[in-house]
Amino acid sequence: MRIATWNINSIRARVDRAVSWLERSQVDVLALQETKCADAQFPEEPFREAGYAVAHTGNGQWNGVAIVSRLGLADVQVGFDGQPGFHKDPEAEALPEPRAIAATCGGVRIWSLYVPNGRDLADRHYGYKLEWLAALRGQAEGWLAADADAKIALTGDWNIAPFDEDVWDPSFFDGKTHTSGPERDAFFAFEKSGFTDVARPHTPGPGVYTYWDYTQLRFPRREGMRIDFVLGSPALAASVTGASVDREERKGKGASDHAPVVVELGD
Partners of 105 in beta bridges: 108
- From the annotation, which residues make up the binding site for Mg(2+)? 7, 34, 157, 159, 257-258
Residue pair 115/31 in contact (Cβ under 8 Å)? The answer is: no
Nearest of 219, 225, 109, 203 to residue 157 by alpha carbon? 225
The CA-CA-CA angle for residues 29, 35, 41, to 5°, reads 105
Q: Is 157 a catalytic residue?
A: yes
Q: Is 16 a catalytic residue?
A: no
Query: Please, where are the H alpha helices in the chain?
Result: 11-25, 44-49, 124-146, 181-192, 234-238
- From the annotation, which residues make up the binding site? 7, 34, 157, 159, 257-258
User: Which residue out of 157, 166, 197, 228 is catalytically annotated?
Assistant: 157
Three-state DSSP class for 174? coil
User: Which residue out of 114, 126, 128, 211 is catalytically annotated?
Assistant: 114
Secondary structure (DSSP) of 101-168: EEEEETTEEEEEEE------TTSHHHHHHHHHHHHHHHHHHHHHHH-TT--EEEEEE-----SGGGBS
Residue pair 155/243 in contact (Cβ under 8 Å)? The answer is: no
Which residues form the catalytic set?
114, 157, 258
